[in-house]
Amino acid sequence: MRLRLATFIVMLVILCVSNVQAEIYTCKDVNGITVYTDSPDECAFAEEVKVDELPTLIPAKSLASPNSNHNAKKEENKNAYTELVITSPSNNATFRDNQGNLTINFRVAPTLQTHKGHKYAVTLDGAEVYSGTSTITALKNVDRGTHTIAVKVVAADGTTKISATPVKITLLRYSVLNSKKKR
């Protein structure tokens, strides 16, 4: 059984490795349709079709070069982020929400490299309020007043890859202290 398997594998390798190019012939059948075949016996007036040899590309340099560390740096820079923008709310926006709900939207280009362990970190007045991979963050019960929102992409080792320009917003909420009593 092993001898048969070994023979089969050897024959398969020989067939795959050999560089055989079959001849191709063309002729017209009885209905006048052009027929292509690998056997000249199938047509009475078969003509051999000349096929140009396919070009073979040979690499100019070996793949493992002494500058492989330099190439790794180029690859890292190629995948570097080019843009991180807070799209909502806009800078200096003022809005009212009595429950203190705040939704933050942002975008990054190119897309977040989660396979490298990258994630977003969103801060409100310097305190981290979200860490994850979603570009939408919903905050609840945010105090009234002026706040600064910042977003950055953080690598698995904690280094910052890119930061968005911070956005200032003002949140207005109902306050019992500001209500007028009716008399």
How far CA 74 is from CA of 16, 59, 66, 77, in Å, comes to 37, 20, 14, 5
pTM: 0.55
Task: Classify residue 89 as exposed, middle or buried by CB count within 10 Å of its CB (0-12, 13-18, 19+).
Answer: buried
Going by C-beta distance under 8 Å and a sequence separation of 6 or more, which residues neighbour residue 22? Answer: 38
Cα distance between residue 163 and residue 151, in whole Å: 6
- Domain 80-174 sits in CATH at 2.60.40.10
Show me where the domains of the chain are located. 22-51, 80-174
Q: Which residues pair with 103 in a beta bridge?
A: 138
Rounded to whole angstroms, how far apart are CA atoms 25 and 181? 102
Q: What angle (nearest 5°) sits at the alpha carbon of residue 120, between those of residues 117 and 124?
A: 150
Confidence of residue 60 (pLDDT cuts 50, 70, 90): low
pLDDT digits (tens, 9 = 90+) for 82-101: 999 999 999 999 988 889 99
